[in-house]
Amino acid sequence: MKTALATVTLSGSLPAKLEAAAAAGFQGIEIFENDLTQFDGSPADVRRMAQDLGLEIIALQPFRDMEGMPEPYRSQKLRYIQRKFELMHELGTNRFLMCSNVSPHASSDRSQCAADLHEIAEMAAKEGLRVGYEALAWGRYIADYEDAWDLIKRADHPNLGINLDTFHMFARGNTLDCLRDEIPVDKIALVQVADAPIMQMDVLQYSRHFRCFPGQGDLPVVAFVQCLKDKGFDDYLSHEIFNDEFRSSSPKEKAVDGMRSLIWLEEQTSKKPSMPEPEIVDVEFVEFAIEGDSGEELIQLLESLGFRETHRHRSKNVSLMRQGDINLILNREPESLAHEHFQLHGVSVCALALATSDLKSMLERADRYHLQRFANQAGPGELNIPALRGIGDSLVYFVERSGKFRFFDIDFVPVGEKNADLGLARIDHIGQSVSNTDFLSASFFYKSLFDFTIEPSQDLPDIYGLVVSRTAESRNGRVRIPINMSEARQTSPQRFIQRSKGSGFQQIAFECEDIFTAVAGVVPNRVLLVPDNYYRDIEAKFALAPELLQQLKQYNVLYDRNEEGGEFFHFYTVETHGVFFEVVQRKGGYNRYGEANAHIRFAAQARQNALQDALEES
């Protein structure tokens, strides 16, 4: 199938939208009428721009409240349509998209509506044009695509077809039965694919603010495209997305996201996938960008958690802190991507390395998804670890884990003896705080490229507003990335984003063997304080033994238990440079993240920040 994008999907001027669509690799463009009327050039100028960019203008849209209107509105509409046909000739497009009538003047008489559609199609035929009719989900009398199809059959004109929009279909709970069993391919005038999270709200508000690219929501878009393929459809798949985040985002970045979603749809509906699925097996390392003495506070915090410098890079100003199977890299190299990250964001997590068993296939897949690659300067005999641009300005490295050697056996030299640690074993999860414009892109990045499972969003209450959270998880469960977003300025994710000047990794959680052994080894003033009221609450909720409750309270450890009896123990460190660490212990098959305690963490961090601000002011 061919790929297209409606200009309403992107932000910016009409020329910027066309350029973004072409740069992302789209073949066609739908011109949204508002974009054309706002443009200060002629329709012929738009046609030339599109041709120069290699884009076909596939439709002019949308046109509303046409069928079933009484006089004098009917005559006015027909005159209006004739003028728009003239405009279409100037644009060089032949598809005219009509939406079902929402006017209070509309008639429910299907015979009259069908007669109007027939007349409009006859007018189009004389101009060599084709009309596509679409059921708006909030249409006055025609709101389901099955009813739109009934009108089209009644109108019975070769220049009239149906426009299929997945949002309008699935927002009203329509099935694919009519498409599968009744609608022939040659009567499909245009296909628009949009996704959305499942929400219970007014359908017009739902449509105007919450549509997203396929794969970013919960609608059965894959089944829809598979149905089209089974019928032999090979025309354009086009995006028509109304979304507040998209309207405030870079048009180039969103256009690339849109192309990735169509690539993903193609993969999901291919009987023989052209690319092998990725296999991400674990987190290999987390890299921090620091410079000079700027990272001392971070290093001291890590040392209080039992980490020690165990290796130094053979040729660069880079060191490695290890504990269990946790690898934390501190990059001070002046000529490096980490240095560039430091210049923009200060002390921060600049990269995440994921271990894969098939590096070549992973990089081929990344290329197919239009991801930007980066290469490090490697010395003789050193690994050249490939990287991709991740979310925000962070990088994602890929390390092939095979054989008995690890990356640090080749690129690093051991230093000193291994010290006693706190029993931290591995990275349990890594929390990423992102802007509202990155939230959908972040989850789809992990879903499309890595085949991670994306959980439905949930709301977590911060004392300053709601935090929306969803988790990306690898197929083997070893890599888990909670993604947090909030539009309230003083919430924990927003404070981090303002401090770090962008989306990034805010939280790293370590799994331990024994929570109380671990926390007892940490300097007490580096553990986030938990209020006494919390412990009164969990004692009442879980009927905890007095000895256990006292231990939890003594060390500021939080607790949760699931219905199956699985237990979760965890504590947080104070923040440094906006980043904080969590230590967790899981028992009895507990597989969540202690979400029931999130509001306690948010409030405690807010108190810590307020205290720190007061100290700095004094």
The region, left, alpha or beta by phi > 0 then psi within -120 to 50, assigned to residue 65 is left
Phi, psi (rounded to 5 degrees) for 362: -65, -40
What span, in angstroms and rounded, lies between the C-alpha atoms of 101 and 65? 4
Beta bridge partners of 356: 280, 400
The set of residues, in sequence order, having a beta carbon less than 8 Å from that of 476 and lying 6+ positions away, is 280, 281
What span, in angstroms and rounded, lies between the C-alpha atoms of 333 and 331? 6
3-state secondary structure of 468: strand
Interior angle at CA 138, CA 134 and CA 143, nearest 5: 50
Tokens 């059921």, located at residue: 135
Structure tokens that stand for 599 in this block: 């509001």
Cis status, amide bond into 72, omega within 30 of 0: yes
Structural contact between residues 599 and 486, judged by C-beta atoms closer than 8 angstroms: no
609 vs 280, 552, 555, 604, 612, CA distance in Å?
A: 36, 23, 20, 9, 5
The set of residues, in sequence order, having a beta carbon less than 8 Å from that of 606 and lying 6+ positions away, is 462, 463, 464, 490, 492
Answer yes or no: is 550 a known binding residue. no
Answer yes or no: is 245 a known binding residue. no
The set of residues, in sequence order, having a beta carbon less than 8 Å from that of 525 and lying 6+ positions away, is 574
DSSP letter (8 states) at residue 455: P
Label residues 433-463 b or e (16+ Cβ within 10 Å = b). bbbbbbbbbbbbbbbbbbbbebeebeebebe
Tokens 């401090």, located at residue: 499
Query: β-pairing, 580-587 with 504-512?
Result: parallel
Query: β-pairing, 395-400 with 348-356?
Result: parallel
Answer yes or no: is 165 a known binding residue. yes
Helix and strand numbers, DSSP H then E, in the chain: 22, 26
Query: β-pairing, 453-454 with 130-134?
Result: unpaired
Structure tokens that stand for 346 in this block: 């200060």
The DSSP line for 113-169 is HHHHHHHHHHHHHHTT-EEEEE--TT-SS--SHHHHHHHHHHH--TTEEEEEEHHHH
Answer yes or no: is 192 a known binding residue. yes
DSSP letter (8 states) at residue 314: S
The region, left, alpha or beta by phi > 0 then psi within -120 to 50, assigned to residue 487 is alpha
Q: Which residues are annotated as a binding site for a divalent metal cation?
A: 134, 165, 192, 240
Q: Which residues are annotated as a binding site?
A: 134, 165, 192, 240
